[in-house]
Structure 1
């Protein structure tokens, strides 16, 4: 009983420390405190303090009341309110008041008494007036388990498993509690179940917090290991006591079994206490220079988690490992084929590569390193590989989120563009009609600006609208020639170097629109230039630098106009409303990229060719199914070879 009381106080203290404003754990801690007080009441009886012990034991209705409060808080869910639980929760103060009233009434009428056992110790019994106290205690306990049963039916997952475990512990507690009522019914059995009473509270708390506080599982694992080892020692000592006399070890047989068990238990405790220091000492002897502990691993983990991209991850990894072993280490990412099994030179290297089963690492140049340094590198390599997988997943999620935001932006821009087209074109038409009677020079200037405004509205509608591709087989040379026939070249000479046999699966109208924008953009800069030239060439390649799987057609649109401003080179050139062209809308190249992206291709601007300006379009030769609105492709590329391809 004294062990149970001390155990209850320790458990309650731990629960209050970990509760952190969690109502269910606070109520469970109150239950543990009340159980500790109740057990201490029995201890007082054993030591002759009968009146104080009786008063404490008669307060037992408070124990199931605290447990009922815990059950209500544990079963309640913030996501889904239950009317019955709400009513019970509001009635908790009244239940507490009733329990206190029952305790006071039990004290008033003398609901408890004591009897003497054979060794003259006092044992508590209920008097006839105490039946009400006992019945109320049982009733509240049944109500608490009824609430748990309701929660078991309503919940799933870990909470349901916890409730099921609590029912098992409750059955164990009921078996132990039977020994306390034996004397009240005149049963003169020794209360053997009472010896296991400390386990009830420990098992109950473990059933509750196992899925809420994961660190308690490590403690339970160690505790169970200790119990198992003590039982093994107990059985071993029993066997030694039996057979030692028969094999001539009479001195050992004469030693009391409890002394042998106590000595063995002392050896077990001593071994457990010196295990960690000895383990660290031996590790330093075997692996000199390796200082690996939880603090180092936590530092590495927190530093690697700060990386936002691959270059930053490599820089953090090299700095962390190099500072730990006090030597420079080179870290690179790649594939397993890129990393040789051996390496010349003394440079220490860590190669991390991606394979079908995940991220792995390879140590190169560590043959002459000390065992401690190699162990440090292996542990760090394992942690770095895990960080690579986490960063890869994080970047994929970020890319998906950016794509979703871009699509949402296009939808919003489409609505805005449609509203602009409706609101602007009517006043533009009125302005055009009003300018009919103006002088020719003024009318021409107004018409030019109106055409520019109408072009801007049209481009916005094209860029922001849904992009549905109607796929068909299109002869590339014929398609580009028709575009050149439509565009006003205004003295710009052109050359078309495209094989007539090249055909690709695409939307001809959308590709025409892309080439119109590209050629029109080039002519705008070549206009007025005496030697303006335009060259369009294409060729089929089985493998391209753009990373497109399968055969693709590479189309290059060259012009000898002025070089593109360095501030616009790169990805910003294809952003909407970015232009240096006089009278341009800044949407032409953005529309081209959107059409090319919808076809699964890539557009790039090159300044490293023989021409000042080159736009290169890389388009897959074959498309899969029809494309869905918005330019998002249903990717299922297939390769269909024909003789002319």
Structure 2
């Protein structure tokens, strides 16, 4: 048993070392751990050589054990010296690693020179390694190197966090297990004639050590560990079951079974378990084909579905790819509807369809028209529907992120454009002032024409500064009637008739200067269209409704072209006014948005042109909750 265990440990060490070197990918700590596994494999093989009668070879191999903790020290330094842990003493220790290897090799050579080991015949007449008096230095040096390596790991556990800290803690647990197993190795050297049963479990030490290191770095190893643990648990269950059968079978009359050695029963059961594991997958596929004929579902098919569905970048593409994949798999034309609820129509048409809907719980799929389909086809469609629903959720989130990113870029572009507009507007002031001063010497008619165009340019510059600048609100309670009346009094109305229907008690929680700009722009626009029109009328009325102040500005000028109504009317540089900047209504809209209010054009208020504004009061929940209600009628 000991020889078999050492041989298994040796083979495991070589396999683990090969796997670590394959996965190392220039990771120094894994390469050092692979060296430790190789040295452990060689050390275990030395015991096998002893058992086979090659005493001198086995002794020399076992006396090379100082190289094992040296490789482990190399691994510990590399593992700890990473990330945020860059201690100077660790760097210096790493630079001295070649000297540690040289010293370990010197200790091994010295041990060979002084015959630090010998073979004992005390255990079942089989040779076993023991240290001589000259081998004490070899043993002490090996122990000190192991303590130094674990000291470095202890420092790493103190300084690191997260998965590194968890890995080091697991390594200490595995190290304690390894120390318990290796203790029996020195019993014969101390004169204790006791069979080293703990060393039979040495293969577990190496596997557990490597798993503790790589479980957080190489996630695929966890799946292997899961299967290995399942195997181990099943073998233990079989062992316990065989022990119970051996005890009970004789008492119930099964003497022939009771006479079979327990180890044979356990070996037969283990062989049965291995055969069962090997034939499980083929039998599972065969039974699935019998129960679900026509359904060919495996990891390759699922990976193909998942990969191609992820390549779709919009809903049309996703539906097209889904229909193609499912139709190809089932060999029938399949229709896929996303958020379609016309199931009755589909059933009447007897069409095979996959309906994918979104609810509060997420996306889910429903099969429609599959009553006559085979179980295999239904299973394939259900699995595909589940995968397609997941893809719908991923696409929905991807599109939402894309919209948010576009909005962010648009806002950034607007900020840059606003800064540029403000800079250009400021720079235009200087040449305009120079032109204005130079116009004083021009003839009166020319000077008047220049002054008219300068006023137009100055208004455009002012509007650009207002529109591109930031809106910092300083809210106060603004008396609405007094504000509007003062603006009307300062406006050049001429023959235009103006009516105000605003109660003296109405007050707005708003920025006085900004609200003043709103009414100046609206009244100037109206006057510009009414000035050359006979019997021009302007009416402004306000009332409080639904926790908001609603204001309507009417005029009987020409109706606004239907192509300009809606959101287009409030965009910059959209105007039909001669000499207008195209920024007046855009500025009004921006000021209303800053006050969490709203403005829109109405054609159903009994006037050719009506602009309705709403300013929410402090207790208002939302400006969108305000509905235009019945208002006092002002005659046109």
Number of residues of Structure 1 aligned to a counterpart in Structure 2: 621
Task: Report the aligned-residue RMSD.
Answer: 4.7
2:367 to 349, 363, 369: 363
Distance 1:256 1:463, change over 3 A: same
The alpha carbon displacement at 1:87 in A equals 2.6
The 1-side partners of 2:320 and 2:545 are apart by 38
The alpha carbon displacement at 1:198 in A equals 0.1
Matches within 5 A, 1:517-596: 560=559, 564=563, 591=587, 594-596=590-592
The 2-side partners of 1:551 and 1:359 are apart by 40
Distance 1:274 1:584, change over 3 A: farther
The 2-side partners of 1:464 and 1:354 are apart by 42
The 2-side partners of 1:170 and 1:187 are apart by 24
Higher Cα radius of gyration:
2
Distance 1:102 1:227, change over 3 A: same
What SS class does the counterpart of residue 122 from structure 1 fall into? strand
Distance 1:52 1:592, change over 3 A: farther
Distance 1:184 1:576, change over 3 A: farther
What SS class does the counterpart of residue 117 from structure 1 fall into? strand
CA contact (8 A) 2:597 2:623 kept: no
What SS class does the counterpart of residue 175 from structure 2 fall into? helix
2:59 to 43, 51, 54: 54
The 1-side partners of 2:479 and 2:85 are apart by 62
The alpha carbon displacement at 1:31 in A equals 1.5
What SS class does the counterpart of residue 252 from structure 2 fall into? coil
Unaligned runs of 5+ residues in structure 2 are: 1-5, 632-636
Counterpart in the other structure of 2:171: 166
1:348 aligns with 2:359: no
CA contact (8 A) 1:116 1:122 kept: yes
Q: TM-score, normalising length from structure 1?
A: 0.80
The 2-side partners of 1:30 and 1:263 are apart by 37
Counterpart in the other structure of 1:333: 339
Counterpart in the other structure of 2:119: 114
The alpha carbon displacement at 1:8 in A equals 0.8
Matches within 5 A, 1:410-449: 410-413=414-417, 415-417=419-421, 419-449=423-453
What SS class does the counterpart of residue 465 from structure 2 fall into? helix
Counterpart in the other structure of 2:156: 151
Counterpart in the other structure of 2:263: 258
The alpha carbon displacement at 1:100 in A equals 2.7
2:191 to 183, 186, 190: 186
The 2-side partners of 1:333 and 1:556 are apart by 44
CA contact (8 A) 1:501 1:644 kept: no
The 1-side partners of 2:119 and 2:549 are apart by 97
**1:198-218 CA distances to partner (integer Å, 9 max, x unpaired)?**
000111111111122222111
What SS class does the counterpart of residue 82 from structure 2 fall into? coil
The alpha carbon displacement at 1:536 in A equals 10
The 1-side partners of 2:316 and 2:499 are apart by 44
Counterpart in the other structure of 1:8: 13
**1:481-529 CA distances to partner (integer Å, 9 max, x unpaired)?**
9988888899999999999999987667546656766787899899999
1:43 aligns with 2:37: no
1:381 aligns with 2:382: no
Matches within 5 A, 1:79-228: 79=84, 81-228=86-233
CA contact (8 A) 1:317 1:331 kept: no
The alpha carbon displacement at 1:375 in A equals 2.1
The 1-side partners of 2:628 and 2:577 are apart by 43
What SS class does the counterpart of residue 382 from structure 1 fall into? helix
**1:10-41 CA distances to partner (integer Å, 9 max, x unpaired)?**
11111222222222222222211221122112
Moved more, 144-153 or 402-411: 402-411
Counterpart in the other structure of 2:634: none
The alpha carbon displacement at 1:255 in A equals 2.4
What SS class does the counterpart of residue 41 from structure 1 fall into? helix
Distance 1:308 1:51, change over 3 A: same
Counterpart in the other structure of 1:462: 466
What SS class does the counterpart of residue 60 from structure 1 fall into? coil
The alpha carbon displacement at 1:9 in A equals 1.0
**1:330-366 CA distances to partner (integer Å, 9 max, x unpaired)?**
32227xxx67799642233434333333333333333
Matches within 5 A, 1:272-283: 272-283=277-288
What SS class does the counterpart of residue 161 from structure 2 fall into? coil
What SS class does the counterpart of residue 146 from structure 2 fall into? helix
The alpha carbon displacement at 1:169 in A equals 0.3
Moved more, 230-239 or 550-559: 550-559
The alpha carbon displacement at 1:7 in A equals 0.3
Moved more, 199-208 or 158-167: 158-167
The 2-side partners of 1:143 and 1:554 are apart by 83
The alpha carbon displacement at 1:223 in A equals 1.0
Distance 1:381 1:582, change over 3 A: farther
CA contact (8 A) 2:540 2:551 kept: no
Counterpart in the other structure of 1:547: none
Distance 1:118 1:467, change over 3 A: same
